[in-house]
A and B are shown apart, each in its own frame.
Chain A
Amino acid sequence: MGVEGIGASVVRKEDRRFITGKGRYVDDIKLQGMTYAHFVRSPHAHAKVKSIDSSAAMKMPGVVGVLTGQQIVDDKVGNLICGWAITSKDGTPMKMGAWPAMAPDTVRFVGQAVAVVIAETKNQAKDAAEAVVVNYQELPAAADIRAAIKPGAPQLHPEAPGNVIYDWAIGDEAAVKDAFSKAANVVSLELTNNRLVPNAMEPRAAIAEYNEAEEHFTLYTTSQNPHVARLVLSAFYNIAQEHKLRVIAPDVGGGFGSKIYIYPEEMVALWASKKVRRPVKWTGDRTEAFLTDAHGRDHITKAEMAFDKDNRILGLRVKTHANLGAYMSLFSSSVPTYLYATLLSGQYNIPNIFAEVISVYTNTTPVDAYRGAGRPEASFLIERLMETAARQLKADPAELRRKNFITQFPHQTPVIMAYDIGDFGASLDAAMKAIDYAGFPARKAKAKSEGKLRGIGLSCYIEACGIAPSKAVGSLGAGVGLWESAEVRVNPVGTIEVLTGSHSHGQGHETTFAQLVSERLGVPISQVQIVHGDTDKVQFGMGTYGSRSLAVGGTAIVKAMEKVEAKGKKIAAHLLEASEGDIVIENGEFKVTGTDKSIALPMVALAAYTAHNLPDGMEPGLKETAFYDPTNFTFPAGAYICELEVDPGTGKTSFVNFVAADDFGRLINPMIVEGQVHGGLAQGIGQALLEGAVYDSSGQLVTASFMDYTMPRADDLPSFKLNHTTTLCPGNPLGVKGCGEAGAIGASAAVINAITDAIGNNKLEMPATPDRVWHAIHGNAT
């Protein structure tokens, strides 16, 4: 390992601009002649739009235009799409209702846009938006799953009778039934996986510019995947052709999934820039983020697990209702199906699994992938079940898990996934050691003598990352391939630019990817520039989500470097008059093994570009491209243990210790990896203790600001103790698995298992607010 190569915790190259206030986020950009958009949004969860009168608004100072949903329909702008087709058990395709970017006739959630005002200043646009008169005819709303599936419930879309989008299943129902019939014990659980709001700190924003002379659009947007945005905007929304649209995602202030999707606001800004022939900027505020960013989770689940007399798992039966909100967002359909039910085997040898998932429309904000996306829901369910089983079967929670761990790899689960490698026992051992599991009973007794209720909770998670083999996801209904591309340009003087289709919005790609180059080609990371986030610069890419950037995007870089290296070796061999097979690369030099002959990379690059002395027939230049399609998912896994105390007087939870033992395969930059885990843990703990989007029965979002939606703050969280156990991923040359979502996937169950252990009541919903915990202690759970 070089000092800046694989395994080195080098400080981040990108940090200087952020810590000096020189980051360049979308809202920081100003274009000549820029106008400002403000949306007129529905205050109702469900209503007919009878009429829109913008005449008064048009007369307001500074107003450039008022555009409505009908105009967007008239201009044949395409409806928003869902890019993953799911087929119900009965063979029928999922039932998708139309979602125009602004509602021409019906609004289905509070905050849905019906019109946009474009004005010279932000305030003028906002002032005029209030003068747009919208005449609504209110309709009854279905604000949650139970309300939506009740007989006689208000219907959202004519396409989806009973508000059911699909009724899907995976696994072998008959085999599960048979397994349960042989069970010595059955453990059952009903739970809710609470709805979350992603709340990246940078609200979404877009600036669109139309160049009339070139008939060309440029869109600056807060995107995790600018090429996907361009593809969708051109192929499906008919606003601009692909070769006439440049999408730039500059510095992006966090995503967590919420910035994967191409939202109505970005579409409208792009469309409007041509309508008004001026650049149009829209910057969301936090309230708009709460109302319109795709939410996450929101499941209701009943599950049963069958055990034999030796406490080995025989089977698992799951029935989940998933709330997809008022419209089907881009990848929404896949989240509660292929990203959820395929992980229901957890870390355990479960011979038989059957899971049914019914996804429903409600009059709420659309729901899609949020950090973990389906996998946190699966992990929470399995780990709550295991804990419940341990209590019911009077087994030690660690031993019950260990007894059922998968220990032979590869392992084919009954729900599609083929785990390639892992050592679940090693992670659990490391976590138990780190927290002194054996000493817990004594600590609990001591806490009791001090009037505190102390609990410990385990969570052994597994996730499928490195999303994903294109052929596999294609066969499951995905509308896109999930490969990644990279280009490695060695410049004539030996500096290197790496163009990647991954997008960094906090993950530190500019450093981690540079380390890959440093390791392979021996150049310092200061000589490497990572270029991303601009469709005019980067050939193509699928973006960053699903903990895929390193395993897929990083591997694409490695593949491109292999080509650079091969060509460089040919040039070096030619210049050194040696055999190509004798050339090795060490510390940035091409060396002839066993001799003192060498040539530095910059000289090879220079030779490639001067082309004065290249092998016969070789093209000049030293720049290579690779597209990498993964061969399998990767399977990061680990064990989290949480120890905490509950104040019986108030129900307030305080952390004593939180330890993690993760297996992410090879770590490129351990400092960055640990940062990713910290952030994920905070979101998982946030889900368990603090966060929850709440709608009232009329469909109003009660938690629409940081005053009501509890974001984790510094004093809500502990410092974390992280450990790593490693099995190298056999599926990619780096041996990496992905680390971005683990914390969010594994943490929630550890926390709830610990609280329920502390209070001696297993019935506790998330978020476990002090009120809920206090009621659970006192036996009258709300």
Chain B
Amino acid sequence: MSTVKLTVNGKAVSADVEDRTLLVHLLRDHLNLTGTHIGCDTSQCGACVVHIDGRAVKSCTVLVGQANGANVTTIEGIAKGDELHPMQAAFRDNHGLQCGYCTPGMIMSAIDIVHRHGGKLDEETVRHELEGNICRCTGYHNIVKSVLDAAGRMKVAQAAE
């Protein structure tokens, strides 16, 4: 058992957990942040993607110790109060989700994609960049549309800031 301290969605948190605890389990089981999901056992599906220090990471493949001291952002931490993150809004407006299970990881990966590529995104790039997130419902068609739409919105939002 160890005590881990980290910042999650802007709040300092601390938990006493077994060293074998994965970040995703800390979030879901100890912090009740159940928006981060588990869809596989092999680091393939991306349902568990969160940001650690601003980078998209599969939280099922991170020991809590590795996240000690880190700044973690989950799907619950990206909206500003009632105002959705542009990526969230784009997923809703473009029907980028169906069952919703892969959606949190998909959105967290998508935000990271836009951050890394800025406004220079095209369909092929988005499809390639979504390689680590599996969706069984949408055929990705509307997810790709959502990401491209959000890239424009995020650019506008950035310009406004």
**Direct A–B contact in complex, judged by CB atoms less than 8 Å apart:** yes
A contact set with B: CB distance below 8 Å: 11-12, 14-25, 27-28, 123, 199-203, 251-254, 256, 285-287, 505-508, 671-672, 674-676, 678-683, 705-707, 711-715, 717, 719-720, 743
Closest CB in chain B relative to A544 CB, distance in Å: 12
The interface residues of chain B lying within 8 Å CB-to-CB of A683 are 136, 139
A201:B34 contact, CB within 8 angstroms = no
A705–B141 Cα distance when bound, in Å, is: 24
The interface residues of chain A lying within 8 Å CB-to-CB of B47 are 201
A16–B107 Cα distance when bound, in Å, is: 13
A201:B45 contact, CB within 8 angstroms = yes
Enumerate 5 A-B pairs (CB-CB under 8 Å) in ascending A order.
Answer: A11-B93, A12-B95, A506-B137, A712-B140, A713-B130
The interface residues of chain B lying within 8 Å CB-to-CB of A21 are 33-36, 74-76, 104
Q: Which 4 A-B pairs have the closest CB atoms?
A: A21-B35, A253-B101, A18-B100, A682-B139
In the assembled complex, B14 has its CB within 8 A of some CB on chain A:
no
A18–B103 Cα distance when bound, in Å, is: 7
B37:A202 contact, CB within 8 angstroms = yes
The interface residues of chain B lying within 8 Å CB-to-CB of A707 are 42, 44
The interface residues of chain A lying within 8 Å CB-to-CB of B33 are 21
Closest CB in chain A relative to B57 CB, distance in Å: 16
A20:B84 contact, CB within 8 angstroms = yes
The interface residues of chain A lying within 8 Å CB-to-CB of B161 are none
The interface residues of chain B lying within 8 Å CB-to-CB of A713 are 130-131, 133-134, 140
The interface residues of chain A lying within 8 Å CB-to-CB of B120 are none
A252–B99 Cα distance when bound, in Å, is: 7
The interface residues of chain A lying within 8 Å CB-to-CB of B76 are 20-22
A201:B99 contact, CB within 8 angstroms = yes
The interface residues of chain A lying within 8 Å CB-to-CB of B144 are 714, 719
Given A19-B91, A706-B40, A715-B131: A682 touches B101 (CB 8 Å cut-off): no
A286:B42 contact, CB within 8 angstroms = yes
A717–B142 Cα distance when bound, in Å, is: 12
- Within 8 Å by CB of A201, from B35, B102, B127, lies B102
Please name the residue on chain B nearest to A708 by beta carbon.
Answer: B42
Closest CB in chain B relative to A503 CB, distance in Å: 12
B131:A681 contact, CB within 8 angstroms = no
Please name the residue on chain B nearest to A21 by beta carbon.
Answer: B35
User: A-facing mask of B10-44, CB < 8 A → 1, else 0?
Assistant: 00000000101000000010000111111111101
A715:B142 contact, CB within 8 angstroms = no
A11:B92 contact, CB within 8 angstroms = yes
The interface residues of chain A lying within 8 Å CB-to-CB of B56 are none
The interface residues of chain B lying within 8 Å CB-to-CB of A28 are 28, 34
The interface residues of chain A lying within 8 Å CB-to-CB of B107 are 19
B137:A706 contact, CB within 8 angstroms = no
Given A21-B34, A201-B39, A707-B44: A253 touches B134 (CB 8 Å cut-off): no
Closest CB in chain A relative to B1 CB, distance in Å: 12
In the assembled complex, B3 has its CB within 8 A of some CB on chain A:
no
B34:A123 contact, CB within 8 angstroms = no
Q: With A20-B79, A25-B34 given, can you name 10 additional A-B contacts, CB distance below 8 Å?
A: A15-B97, A16-B84, A19-B84, A21-B74, A23-B101, A201-B102, A671-B95, A678-B138, A714-B127, A717-B140
In the assembled complex, B53 has its CB within 8 A of some CB on chain A:
no
In the assembled complex, B64 has its CB within 8 A of some CB on chain A:
no
In the assembled complex, B126 has its CB within 8 A of some CB on chain A:
yes
Closest CB in chain B relative to A258 CB, distance in Å: 10
User: A-facing mask of B40-68, CB < 8 A → 1, else 0?
Assistant: 11101101000000000000000000000
Given A19-B88, A719-B144: A507 touches B136 (CB 8 Å cut-off): no
Please name the residue on chain B nearest to A286 by beta carbon.
Answer: B40
A254–B37 Cα distance when bound, in Å, is: 13
- Within 8 Å by CB of B142, from A23, A25, A675, lies A675
In the assembled complex, B151 has its CB within 8 A of some CB on chain A:
no
Closest CB in chain A relative to B26 CB, distance in Å: 13
Given A20-B79, A23-B35, A201-B136: A714 touches B130 (CB 8 Å cut-off): yes
A679–B140 Cα distance when bound, in Å, is: 8
B136:A679 contact, CB within 8 angstroms = yes
B100:A705 contact, CB within 8 angstroms = no
A22:B140 contact, CB within 8 angstroms = no
B35:A254 contact, CB within 8 angstroms = no
Closest CB in chain B relative to A695 CB, distance in Å: 19
Given A15-B92, A286-B42, A719-B123: A675 touches B98 (CB 8 Å cut-off): yes
A90–B91 Cα distance when bound, in Å, is: 55
The interface residues of chain B lying within 8 Å CB-to-CB of A24 are 34
B35:A286 contact, CB within 8 angstroms = no
A505–B98 Cα distance when bound, in Å, is: 8
A11–B149 Cα distance when bound, in Å, is: 15
A17–B76 Cα distance when bound, in Å, is: 10
A717–B143 Cα distance when bound, in Å, is: 12
The interface residues of chain B lying within 8 Å CB-to-CB of A251 are 99-100
Given A20-B88, A201-B135, A715-B131: A123 touches B102 (CB 8 Å cut-off): no
> Which residue, B45, B75, B134, B136, has most C-beta atoms of chain A within 10 A?
B136
B75:A706 contact, CB within 8 angstroms = no
A254–B98 Cα distance when bound, in Å, is: 8
